[in-house]
Structure formats: structure tokens, C-alpha cells
A and B are shown apart, each in its own frame.
Chain A
């Protein structure tokens, strides 16, 4: 077995395992921290897929941004000193059934579909090309994205500020 294949297995395991902890853990703090493993694992998958830039973005935004945000939210909504930080779940059985069926169907679909595959898979640096694409073909979505982010920022500020009573 090649070393890269082994690393791939490891990364896949970390990703799926962390996700499982996120889903099944009783403690929300554990869930939040396990998310780190999932995000990092997905970044590793990106590297295997030759998407170096996206992997970097994944780390920066998910790990550096969203995860921290989630942790803040957890801290703000729970008294950390509480012994029991509940993470109750409900209706597990029906959810398990339907998700199980869904997953089985997905995997079956993946296996049955005859995927077309490019013969030569190239590994090249992508950053420059992505930059070009953003400023050429995807200029409008790119600019719209900045607007969406601005709107989200303003929305978040408006929503989370304390009501100032006169």
C-alpha cells in the first residue's frame, strides 16, 4: 500500500469520525470541537483533489472563522460553568431510519452510475487561474458575493445588538 493511500484512508477516517462525533455527541462543546476535525479532514481531501487554494480557503474560513463563531455562540448561550451542558436529541429512531434509507440510496447511486473520468488528472497550482476566473468569467457573481457578505454583516450586527432602551 502506498503511503499516500494510507494518508487518504486516515484523512477519510478523521473526517467521517469527527462528523460522527459532531452528530452523536451529548456535549455540545465536544460537538463544536469535533467540527474542527471534519473541516480539517475535508481540507485534506481537497488537497488530494488538487485544489490547493480551496483547501487554504477551507482552513481559513471554516476553521478560522465559522468554527470560532460557533464556539462563541455556544459560550454565549450556555453558562460554561454549568455542569450539564445539554445537547438533547429527539426522535432518533425515525430519523435513523430515514437517513439510513437515504444514505443507502446515495451510495447505491454512486456505485451504479458509470462516472466519466478524465484520463490524465493533472496536479497544478490553481491560485492564479482561480484569480483570473474570478475577475473574468465570474466577475459578476464575485461582486455580488461581496454584497451578500456586506448584507450578512449588517444583518448580523442588527440582529445581535442589544436593544437600547431610552
Chain B
């Protein structure tokens, strides 16, 4: 294996945002007061933009190398060296992390710029940007980390920042609760992640290859073959644990419940953390450790099923939501589900590709929604919007492009990436998954167009006052929108399907991720593509008829089967309620039980013990007073008496001391000479 090339500038990709966060975090309040919010914005945006420049530089460096040597490493120092555990503070740029840092710094930079406009009226401007920069640094550490430990540092860092930013407007109790929820649910996932890391390290170590460095781990992965724990393959157990972590971070069933609530945070946060970057960390992690996941077919199967379930459930919930951000949130969960379907069918590259395209169009959607919310004076209910097309043309156009992209209109980014996943699912003999995923794609098209029509078309349902103040957002907000929309339109072309010449993107990732095999003819691929386009188109058409033409009322659908489905979807499959009953109430019940146990049994024991102790100590006291004290006093009396007698020896006359010493010395010498020589 070739030694990776030491490249010193990589560390600055991580450290610059960190420095920005430290400056804004420690001095932000003063800077904002003295120099204004502009200065804060510059301090926050510059490091990310420079980071993007550095990322491009790293990409250029990489492309100059032959594919199998595309590794740049920036090793700062040995971080931990304990027994067989050796972890460096090292950042690694390989094709996979290069893609990730481009997304994080590129889209992150745009969102930073956007946020300077969006957050302009907020007094805690500096705090927001300190968190945002800290998040960026943590996310970059996550994707650039050379070993699992460093990745874990980033993993926890992004969780922390996510918590802080969800609860950013903490004066509102609901926001703080949402932050807590996200943090606690993530903790469950992180626990699994840590267990997975431990298990991997432990089992690698038992083969004499204890390491947490990704490249080393991939190298020795095959030594885990055949190892078992609790009768199961070690790799399967470890990857299951890791997937629990991924599910927590990437909002998969059953740990997705925090993400919709996370919309309580400011919209740029939703775009950056809860759509484009942090939630994709789980996908990134599985792609990074794809060697291990590929060795565990059961885990992959489970991931595919969970991904599919998540995609479908979230899509159905999104059908009925009326909050503009909630629709997008469930859509994000759904799209993450697609990514995990990709992972589950072995298409890591396809999953990462979808991650990238999704980052573009979902960030654009969120920012567009933010722009709308900004114009509507923080009104998020779509039923009170409508007809915004003429007031906010730029927002409308970019939103439209993104909707086209997510719905999978041919030629847009979402089409290529989603289709790649679907095709992989089908060609790897999972036709059921394919079928349901296509159905989900149809639902996606439906609810996204529904949102588009409800917000931008038709009559305005806003109140008079709001309508008078409707305005297009300022330049700093529309510019990122335009760039992201262009990305959403074009970025798909780097990952053409096999039938059109194959994916440049998959080939780029090949040094890190083994290329998925394709079975099946081009004709079949084209046919499947046509089916998915048709389904998506019919979803869009249905939406058009219902919400634009008003051909038939949505209520008719809602009342289907006695309104059972509508209520089910509208109440999010009652999952929150189930969690409330099972986990929260369960915990409370358990707590009450232990409280009773505590009260009646533990307390009784303690009280009994206390009484016993008091009795023993009473006896002890008598013993102490008459026997111990007597002995001590006697001893003291003896010492006092002897001291009194011997006091005379201390004459204070040096001569007498000297005589004493001398006699002793003479005696010692005589003994030595006569008896010991």
C-alpha cells in the first residue's frame, strides 16, 4: 500500500471554521456591538469560503494522482498511543472525503451567506454564527478524520451543535424541548455507534491488527471473516451497532422522530444541518466502512428494509403536512431512506451520489422555504400562503427547479441519483424494494408539487397586512438560491446511468468504494427508468389536478377508507404517541416502581440498619469509655511519669550530650573491632 502524501493545508479546512467559531463565540458580543453584524458575518463566512477553496485545491491535487494513489493525509501528531491503540490527529482526503468536504464547505458556505441575510434581525446574530462555524468545523472533522476516533469527535461535535442550534431560540419552551429530543435520540444512536467501534477494534485487535485508521481497517477487514460473538458473526453484530448509530444521526426508523421536531431551529440550520450535511453523516459512515458492511449481508438486508420503510412512512406523512418546513423535513427523512436503500443493495457510491444531489436540491428547497417564511413574517402554514409567484419570482424559480429535481424529472440531479439507486435495487434482485421505492418516488412528486402549488400558485390566502409587505428577499439570500438551483439542475450529470455511458462519480469513488455490479440489460434499465418517470409524473399530475385545477377536492382522498389513512398519516403513524406510551411512560412507570421499591424496601433496610448501628455504637461507646480510654489514659500516665523522671537527663549542658555521644561511639568501635571484624 502506498504511503499517503502528507499535505499540510488540509488541517486549515477544519481549523479555519473552528477559529471563526472561537472568535465569534468569545468576542462575538463585543464585535457585534462595536463593528456591527456585518463584521460577524465576514468572520463567519470567510473561513468556510476559504475552506471551499482549499477543498477545491485538494480535489485538484487528487485528480493529478493515479486513481489508486488518491490519498492526501495531513498528520498533525500522535493523538493517543495506548497499548495496541494508536490514533493520530490526522486528516485524510481521499475521493470520498473530497466529495464530502466540497459539499460541506460549498453548500455550507452558501448557507452561511444566506444566513447573514436571514438572521439579520436577530440579536443573537453572533451566537448563531459561532454555532454554525463550530458545526462546520465538527462536520469537516467528521468527514476528514483519518480514524474512527476522530470521526467520533466530529460525530459528537455535530450532534452538540445541532442541539444548540435547534434550541437556538430557547426562550420558546417547545424549541428547547425539540433540542433535547434531538440530543437524546441521537444519544441512543451514538451508543450503538460506540459499541460498534469497540467491537470492531476489539475483534481486529484479537487478530493482532488493532487499529482504528480507516485504511488499515479496510486492509485487515478480511481477518474478521469467521469470527463470531454470541454465535453471530462479529462483522454482522458490529455493523448492526454501527447502523444504529447511522440511524440515529440520519433519522431512520425507529430513530427518525427527532428530525421533524428539529425544524424548530432557524431555517438555514434546517438547510445546513438537517438536510444537507449532518443527517448524511450516517450515510457517509456506512460508505466509509463499506468493506465491513459488504461482509455482512444480513445487516445490508436490514438496512435496505429500514431504508425502504423510512422512505415510505416519511413520504406518507409528508402527504398531509401543512407546515412548509415539516413537509421538507419528512421529505428529507424519506430521501435519507432512499440513500440507505442504496447502501442496503450495495450501492454505496449511488448512496453518496444521492447524498450530494440531495444536498443541493434540499438545501435549495429549505432556503427557498426560508425565503418564503422571511417574506411572510415567520408564517409557516401553507394554508395561509398561495400566489407568491408574482411577489417572489426568483424564489419561485429556484424552488421550482428544486421540486423538479427532487421529483425526479429527467435531466435534473434527483433523477440521476434516485434512478441509480432504484436500478441497483432492481438489478441486485430486490424487485419488491424497487416497486415500493418507485411508489415512494410517486408520493414524493405528489407532495412536492402539492407544496409548490399551495405556496406559489392560486389566490393568496394571507391576511391583508402580510400581503402588503410581501417582497422578494435581499440579494444575499437569493444568490445562494440561484447557485444551489443551478447545482440542482446540473450536478446530476456527473453520475450518468450506465446506459448513457456510466457514472463518472462512481468511477471517481472507486478507490474507496468497490463499484457495484450491474446485472441486466440496457433495455431493461431504460424500461425501468420510464416506469419511474411515469409514476412520478402521475404523482405530479394528481397534485396538479387537486391543488391547481381544483378538479377534485383533496378531501375525497382524505375520506377514503373512512379517513383512516388520512388520520394515520396526519398523526405521523402515531409514532410519537407510541414512543410516549412505550418509552416515556414506560420509563416513568419504571421510575415509579423503583420509587416504591426504594420507599418500602430499601428505606426499611436502611432504617433497620440505622437502628442496629445505633445499638452497636452504644455498646461500643461503653467499651470505648471504660476499656479503650482506660488503656489510653494509663499509657499517657506512664509516659508522663517516665518523662518526668527522665527530665533531668536534659541538662541543657552540651558537654553531657557530647559525653553520651562519645561513649556510644567508643562502644560501637570496640564492638566493631573486637567482635565483628
Q: Is B670 part of the contact surface with A, judged by Cβ < 8 Å?
A: yes
Asked if A102 contacts B662 (CB within 8 A), the reply is: yes
Cα-based distance from A94 to B659 in the complex (angstroms): 9
Q: Which residues between 639 and 677 of chain B lie within 8 Å of chain A, taking CB atoms?
A: 655, 659, 662-663, 665-666, 669-670, 673
Asked if A98 contacts B673 (CB within 8 A), the reply is: no
Cα-based distance from A98 to B659 in the complex (angstroms): 8
Q: Is A108 part of the contact surface with B, judged by Cβ < 8 Å?
A: yes
Asked if B662 contacts A109 (CB within 8 A), the reply is: no
Asked if B666 contacts A102 (CB within 8 A), the reply is: yes
Asked if B663 contacts A98 (CB within 8 A), the reply is: yes
CB neighbours (8 Å) of A112 from chain B are 673
Q: A91-B655, A94-B659 are in contact. Are A108 and B666 (CB under 8 A)?
A: no
Asked if B669 contacts A105 (CB within 8 A), the reply is: yes
Which size bracket describes the interface of B in this complex?
under 10
Q: Of A90, A94, A102, which is in contact with the most chain B CB atoms at under 10 Å from its CB? A: A102
Output the nearest chain B residue to A94 by Cβ-Cβ distance: B659
CB neighbours (8 Å) of B659 from chain A are 94, 98
Q: Is the interface of B mostly helix, strand, loop or mixed?
A: helix
Output the nearest chain B residue to A102 by Cβ-Cβ distance: B666
Asked if B670 contacts A105 (CB within 8 A), the reply is: yes
Q: A91-B655, A94-B659 are in contact. Are A101 and B673 (CB under 8 A)?
A: no
Asked if B655 contacts A98 (CB within 8 A), the reply is: no
Cα-based distance from A90 to B654 in the complex (angstroms): 13
Cα-based distance from A108 to B666 in the complex (angstroms): 13
Distance of B655 from chain A, by nearest CB (Å) = 7
CB neighbours (8 Å) of A94 from chain B are 659
Cα-based distance from A106 to B668 in the complex (angstroms): 12
CB neighbours (8 Å) of A101 from chain B are 666
Output the nearest chain A residue to B677 by Cβ-Cβ distance: A112
Q: Which residues between 74 and 107 of chain A lie within 8 Å of chain B, taking CB atoms?
A: 90-91, 94, 98-99, 101-102, 105-106
Distance of A68 from chain B, by nearest CB (Å) = 25
CB neighbours (8 Å) of A91 from chain B are 655
Cα-based distance from A101 to B673 in the complex (angstroms): 14
Distance of A110 from chain B, by nearest CB (Å) = 12
Cα-based distance from A112 to B669 in the complex (angstroms): 13
Output the nearest chain A residue to B672 by Cβ-Cβ distance: A109
Q: Of A91, A94, A105, A108, which is in contact with the most chain B CB atoms at under 10 Å from its CB? A: A105
Q: Which of A90, A98, A108 contacts B662 (CB 8 A)?
A: A98
Cα-based distance from A105 to B670 in the complex (angstroms): 8
Distance of B665 from chain A, by nearest CB (Å) = 7
CB neighbours (8 Å) of B669 from chain A are 102, 105-106, 109
Output the nearest chain B residue to A91 by Cβ-Cβ distance: B655
Q: Which residues between 12 and 47 of chain A lie within 8 Å of chain B, taking CB atoms?
A: none
Output the nearest chain A residue to B656 by Cβ-Cβ distance: A91
Chain B residues with CB under 8 Å of chain A are 655, 659, 662-663, 665-666, 669-670, 673
Chain A residues with CB under 8 Å of chain B are 90-91, 94, 98-99, 101-102, 105-106, 108-109, 112
Between-chain CB contacts (< 8 Å), 16 pairs: A90-B655, A91-B655, A94-B659, A98-B662, A98-B663, A98-B666, A99-B662, A101-B666, A102-B662, A102-B665, A102-B669, A105-B669, A108-B673, A109-B669, A109-B673, A112-B673
Given contacts A99-B662, A106-B669, could you give 14 more A-B pairs where the C-beta distance is less than 8 Å?
A: A91-B655, A94-B659, A98-B662, A98-B663, A98-B666, A102-B662, A102-B665, A102-B666, A102-B669, A105-B666, A105-B669, A108-B673, A109-B669, A112-B673
